[in-house]
Amino acid sequence: MTRTVFRTCTLCEATCGLRFEVEGDRILPVRPDPDDVFSKGYACPKGLAMGEVQHDPDRLRRPVRRGASGQFAPISWDEAFDLAATRLGEVRERYGPDAVAVYYGNPSVFDHGASLIMNSFIDAIGTRNRFSANSQDINPRLAASYYLYGASWSIPIPDVDRTQYFLCIGANPLVSNGSLLTAPNLRARIRAIRERGGRVIVVDPRRTETAREADEHVAIRPGGDAAFLLAMVRVLAERGRIERAQLLGTTRGWEEIEQRLKEFTPARAARFSGVEAETIERLALEFADAPSAVAYSRVGVCLNAFATLATYATDLLNLVTGRLGSEGGPLFTTPAIDVSQVARLADLDGHDRWRSRVRGLPEALGDLPSATLADEIETPGEGQVRAVVTFAGNPVLSTPNGRRLAAALEKLEFMLAIDLYVNETTRHADLILPPEWSLADDHMDVLFPLVSVRNVVRWSPPVVARGEDELADWQILLELTERLGGGPMGTPWLDRVLRLVRPLGLRWTPTGMAALLLRIGPYGDRFLPWSRGLNLKKLKAAPHGIDLGPLQPGFERRIFHPDRRIHLDPQPILAAMEELARQLDVEPRLEDLVLIGRREVRTNNSWMHNLPSLVSGRERCVLLVHPDDARRIGLQDGDTAVLESRVHRGEVPVRVSDEIRRGVVSLPHGWGHAESAPWQRVAGSHAGVSANDWTDEQAVESVVGQSILNGVPVRLLPSPRGKAS
């Protein structure tokens, strides 16, 4: 008998609604949910492949322990929990809590259970050596928001459904499905801007899929975004085109910034960014003249040498033109469940409150930059990392100079991984605890409504029954948390209360926690029986979700500085402006090459390459090279070339394409599966190379210590082997 289950996708930020048909414990082909209130029948290939993960024969289903030969053998959950808690406890007792480091990967933010208990687990260990995928992605955005608005999760969201002018910088939302912009089917949304007479401008070193849908593509030099944007603001200030009265009434520090903008002339910015001065001036005036407009920058900007400053400059352009808080501009969400408020109340929010032991790199939202994890393992002394816990992460492929990190992991006294697979990182673990695949548990969206283009809320039931010997990831984390002396709330008195009521059958669950936050949130019933507000029962009765309406104008509710003003002059931003001003007149030589990454709609970072439907077809892990650079170097399409940087030299297959800017080469992120081939057979047969083998862990952005993964200096040489096999 076939049953139908409606559920949101928990693989990417678009959170599309999906329709699952299930026979027994077998998932039939997955389809989009045409009645979903948000995605309205749209889904990308990743969402449609969710069932393949459930049935993947290479997915781990029982804990495994690594033997002396490097092979893994299954053990029971009781043995596994005893081993994990004992070994982590021993390291903590002998060397102190900072001797245990924790790295959690991107999938954790798509899981409400992991999201709501992760901090409590880390608090139970007591370590400040916590690392995450944020420092390969969003830390510059978080820091810019923290300094501007007083809270890291005060992130303005482009009102793409109502704007007349969309300036998209270093982002490819047609492939990412939105990044810090939860908006299913962005292709249709971007086309709608043009259909209603608006304009779409994409600024990117590559003519991306989004750029092909735009009115104009501006091929900027990697790392030139901050100079480009600050020059635009200078043009508007000089021409008297800024909303000065509003600016002075809602911000602090404009006079200081206006003085510093004098350094950023269009001519100087043009030399540095590769964008002509006339284009900078024209785009600035177009932006100011449009009936409504929004500037949006993302991963490409967040991974370069002036990432935080460029993100700040994006918001500055929106601010000086009066766009922030205006319909069609950048708006703030009103989520039904506001976990950012929980973070502030728990004192989790902040930047640069402590620094890493070896290189002195700053924390952001509690996490240290992953670029220094290998340093912390390899460098002797008090606080040296002796044990590592990874959760749903693959830092060997996602952090800079992954080969060095892989070697460092072998020096640990103990490594624990909580993961579905043996991958390039978890193969080094002494113990792997595999959670069930997420389709066996219910789900509530708790993070992405913070960055959604509409206010929506949804609950998803399990699609399949939990296996007899399977545990959810939050159950694994909760068991470890309690064995290490902590509790699910991370607050001693609350955790004591929970322990007291456990004999009554009351136990913490993430869905129970999310339901509580829903009821006390802006749309909640506040536990009033006569209220028409939301609660979990009402949410469960809406299988396709509840649409709470468009984002609302205004921004005052998301400003958390004590003076209730937007701060334009934080010291780290001023220092970054000075540093950039000193470099503006440096123009690269014609023969210099830099490496950037890219993503594709059929890949999801490093971990879905073991699904046949997502790796079929043409080879995707190829180096894009501009025809002029290929001729100069002596390469042809299909050749194998040698790519070298300060930290690595290796061969790559070449695809010659005029979609990439001259002087720039591009490798996709997340490949390099040769080492995990014995455990992931499909991924191993499509191994590719890891772009981060060439990135330099010593090169970090000045404000947040962010890994510089875009704009990596490289050399490209012909290989004696010639054509790729």
* Neighbour tally for 39: CB within 10 Å: 27
Determine the Cα–Cα distance for residues 448 and 131; give it in Å rounded to an integer.
21
Q: What is the mean pLDDT of residues 62-76?
A: 95
| 664 touches 591 (CB < 8 A) | no
pTM over 0.95: yes
Domain 154-332+555-580 matching CATH 3.40.228.10: the answer reads yes
Residue 371, pLDDT above cutoff 60: yes
Bridge partners (DSSP) of residue 466 are: none
pLDDT in tens, 84-138: 999 999 999 999 999 999 999 988 888 999 999 999 999 999 999 999 999 999 9
Contact 689, 719 (CB under 8 A): no
DSSP secondary structure code for residue 687 in this structure:
-
The confidence band for 603, taking pLDDT boundaries of 50, 70 and 90, is confident
Per-residue pLDDT of 565-580, as tens digits, reads 999 999 999 999 999 9
CB 580 within 8 A of CB 655: no
Which pLDDT belongs to residue 647? 97
pLDDT for residue 145 is more than 70: yes
Instruction: Say how far residue 596 (Cα) sits from the centre of its chain.
Output: 17
Q: Please give the class, per CATH, of domain 588-723.
A: mainly beta
Query: Please, where in the chain does CATH 3.40.50.740 lie?
Result: 90-138+340-433
pLDDT in tens, 188-233: 999 999 999 999 999 999 999 999 999 999 999 999 999 999 999 9
How does residue 723 score in pLDDT terms, banded at 50, 70 and 90? low
- Which pLDDT band, with edges at 50, 70 and 90, does 638 fall under? very high
Q: Helix H segments across 368-461? A: 373-378, 395-398, 402-409
> Mean of the pLDDT values across residues 316-331?
97
387 φ, ψ to 5°? -140, 145
How confident is the model over 589-604, as a mean pLDDT? 86
Least confident range of 389-403, 609-623, 627-641: 609-623
User: What's the rounded Cα separation, in Å, for the pair 137 and 154?
Assistant: 17
Residue holding tokens 């269009």? 266
Average pLDDT over residues 283-288: 98
- The H-or-E segment that residue 281 falls in is helix 277-289
pLDDT band with cut points at 50, 70 and 90 for residue 590 = low
Up-side HSE of residue 452: CA atoms within 13 Å toward CB? 28
User: Chain-wide mean pLDDT for the chain?
Assistant: 95
291 pLDDT higher than 70: yes
Strands 31-32 and 17-23: antiparallel
Q: Considering only the top CATH level, what class is 90-138+340-433?
A: alpha beta
The whole-number average pLDDT for the span 35-62 is: 95
Residue 722 pLDDT level (bands cut at 50, 70, 90): low
Spacing of C-alpha 96 from chain mean position: 31
> Percent of the chain, pLDDT > 70?
99
DSSP-based helix, strand, coil % in the chain, nearest 5: 35, 20, 45
Q: Closest by alpha carbon to 103, among 64, 140, 129, 65?
A: 129
| Residue 370, token pair as written in the block | 């992953």
pLDDT of residue 724: 56
- Give the pLDDT of residue 286: 98
List the one residue out of 648, 658, 654, 636 whose CA is nearest residue 714.
648
Is the pLDDT at 355 greater than 90? The verdict is: yes
* Cβ within 8 Å of residue 320, ≥6 positions away: 233, 236, 237, 242, 243, 247
In this prediction, residue 617 carries a pLDDT of 85
Predicted pLDDT of residue 506? 80
* 721/724 Cα distance (integer angstroms): 8
Instruction: Please say if the pLDDT value at position 517 is more than 90.
Output: yes
CATH 2.40.40.20 region(s) of the chain?
588-723
**Residue 357 to residue 367: CA distance in whole angstroms:** 13
Domain limits, CATH 3.40.228.10, in the chain = 154-332+555-580
CB distance 449 to 13 below 8 Å? no
